[in-house]
Amino acid sequence: MNLRMRRLRENSLIRDMVRENSLNTDDFIYPLFIVEGEDIKREIKGFPDVYHFSVDRLNAEIDELIELGIKSVILFGVPDVKDEVGSGAFADDGIVQKAIRQIKSHTDEILVITDVCLCEYTSHGHCGLVDDCGHILNDESLPYLAKTALSHARAGADIVAPSDMMDFRIAAIRETLDENGFKNTPIMAYSAKYASKFYDPFRVAGGGAPQFGNRKSYQMDYHNSDEALIEVELDLQEGADFIIVKPALSYLDIIRRVKDNFNTPIIAYNVSGEYVLLKNAIANAVASEEMIYEILIAMKRAGADIIITYHAKEMAKMLKECK
């Protein structure tokens, strides 16, 4: 009888030595929602332990993240004013631009990634421009997305992350960044982004729910997986440096397929709906915090290098305590 597997598991030091995957605080990207106004740190309805911050309350939050060992954030802006073309997304004094400057003047110890999209800034709530009949205007949206990415880079963003899912937007953004002196600003592309109900809590947080129709003409159909590989390939050809798969938990197969087919850093976005499910289960004492750990490890095992997650802070605390 061969007891090889038992022998590798019996001694906990050996078990740790042969362990294939682990979670560290620097694996996490923590999402932050920024609102206009002053002295605001307000919990978002239906989104436990996730807050709206005004720019002047960011320093304390950033200090806490650094203290916990978290090395990067992704910023989402929630503007007061919206219009047809989402002007707030690329305004020099836009909410995200102000937040980037605030964080960058406070510290250089945290990487600032910005979500590039129009949905929080457009009156209709779509990720690009729409015509009179409500159809998405793909090509007409590209200069607006490129302007948005450029204004983030100008404000000091380290990485831009387009989440709009228009075709050819990575090429448009790359070209605009390059022409304006930002050749070294990487693009983290939401490449395999599915039209998912798991974004619902986020849409409350960002105020970016579509006012008519849905996002199925530009986000992916979750009945498909080959299509994810096409999206990833196109984005890499157009100049993406990192690939995001989103959502993550019900899409572990997609993460694995991307990992097996491309040699590129993969980011799993553990989205708002996935987070809320677990938080509510934990609040009702039918789940434990260890489940969060197990789920995030599953994302690593599937092939994710980095995870965007609202659990980052509680996980960082847990990892510290368990050391």
State the catalytic residues.
193, 246
The residue among 13 and 158 lying less far from ligand PBG, judged by its C-beta, is 158
Contact status: 242 vs ligand PBG (CB under 6 A): no
For ligand PBG, the binding residue among 271, 296, 304, 306 (CB under 6 A) is: 271
For ligand PBG, the binding residue among 28, 202, 218, 251 (CB under 6 A) is: 202
Full DSSP string of 251-278: GHHHHHHHHHH--S-EEEEE-HHHHHHH
Query: Is the alpha carbon torsion for 163, 168, 171, 175 positive or negative?
Result: negative
Contact status: 115 vs ligand PBG (CB under 6 A): yes
Q: How far is the CB of 206 from ligand PBG (least distance, A)?
A: 7
Contact status: 245 vs ligand PBG (CB under 6 A): no
Contact status: 173 vs ligand PBG (CB under 6 A): no
Q: Select from 35-43, 92-100, 197-205, 278-286 the region that touches ligand PBG (CB under 6 A).
A: 197-205
Q: Is the peptide bond before 79 cis (omega within 30 degrees of 0)?
A: no
Q: Is 322 exposed, middle or buried (0-12, 13-18, 19+ CB in 10 A)?
A: exposed
How far does Cα 313 stand from its chain's mean position?
A: 15
Partners of 129 in beta bridges: 137
Q: How far is the CB of 284 from ligand PBG (least distance, A)?
A: 21
Nearest to 159 by CA among 93, 219, 113, 211: 113
- C-alpha span between 96 and 106 (Å, rounded): 15
Q: How far is the CB of 321 from ligand PBG (least distance, A)?
A: 26
For ligand PBG, the binding residue among 68, 112, 119, 187 (CB under 6 A) is: 119
For ligand PBG, the binding residue among 117, 187, 252, 278 (CB under 6 A) is: 117
Helix (H, G, I), strand (E, B) or coil at 12: helix
Contact status: 163 vs ligand PBG (CB under 6 A): yes
Binding site for ligand PBG (CB under 6 A): 115, 117, 119, 127, 163, 199, 202-203, 215, 271-272
